[in-house]
Amino acid sequence: MTDINQLAEPAPPRAPASKAETAPERSFVELIELFFFAYRDFVGDPDEILAPFGFGRAHHRVLHFVNRNPGMRVTELLDILRITKQSLGRVLRELVDEGFVESRAGAADRRQRLLYPTTKGEALARDFVAIQSRRIASALGECGPDAEDAARRFLVAMIDREDRAEVERLVHRAQAARPPSA
């Protein structure tokens, strides 16, 4: 083995000082890079839609999850996005100001602000899902018939164990009841 290949693949010998000395660990550098490039193109899709509105990717994420969880509280959104209240604040204010999201006080607990997409917001969120779904449909079409299931299982398994329950709940739950639509 030449020194050249040691550069390419970390190679078994030296364990990365964090685990007991068991089997030599395998490098998945190929998948690491494919994941990088795939995600880059995947999140790039909505950019063209976003641009005309003067919105960025942060707006995409916020609108997406509000649309998927109408009546969501601000705190839930913060937990999902893992950003600070101040960061969310700016983006959310813009979405509200421009009429994509509506925020209403909760009926049961009036401290809460429940977030709802407006008709305009729903339409935009639909466009985001549509463009990314087209990429996924095309990708799955190229792979075998079991590709969808395999992709789903792989992606779930890539998520931190302690977050999986919450993510699965979020992704699969039936939509919350529609608000007393304004």
Partner DNA sequence: GATTTATGTCAGTCATGTTGACTTTTTTCA
Partner DNA sequence: TGAAAAAAGTCAACATGACTGACATAAATC
- List binders of a second copy among 97-126 (CB under 8 A): 117, 122, 126
d(CA 84, CA 96) in angstroms, rounded, equals: 18
d(CA 168, CA 53) in angstroms, rounded, equals: 31
d(CA 153, CA 118) in angstroms, rounded, equals: 33
Binding-site partner at residue 120 among a second copy, DNA, none, CB < 5 to 8 Å by type: none
HSE, side-chain direction, 13 A CA sphere, residue 147: 10
Please spell the DSSP secondary structure of 140-175, one letter per residue: HHHS-TTHHHHHHHHHHHHS-HHHHHHHHHHHHSPP
Binding-site partner at residue 73 among a second copy, DNA, none, CB < 5 to 8 Å by type: DNA
Exactly one of 56, 76, 113, 132 binds a second copy (CB under 8 A); which one? 132
Cβ proximity of 92 and 100 under 8 Å: no
d(CA 110, CA 133) in angstroms, rounded, equals: 37
Binding-site partner at residue 53 among DNA, a second copy, none, CB < 5 to 8 Å by type: none
- List binders of a second copy among 10-49 (CB under 8 A): 10, 14, 16, 18-19, 25-42
Exactly one of 8, 39, 57, 143 binds DNA (CB under 7 A); which one? 57
Q: Does 61 bind DNA (CB under 7 A)?
A: yes
- List binders of DNA among 107-136 (CB under 7 A): 109-114
Binding-site partner at residue 100 among DNA, a second copy, none, CB < 5 to 8 Å by type: none
- List binders of DNA among 72-91 (CB under 7 A): 73-75, 81-87, 89-91
Q: Nearer Cβ to DNA, position 25 or 47?
A: 47
d(CA 182, CA 179) in angstroms, rounded, equals: 8
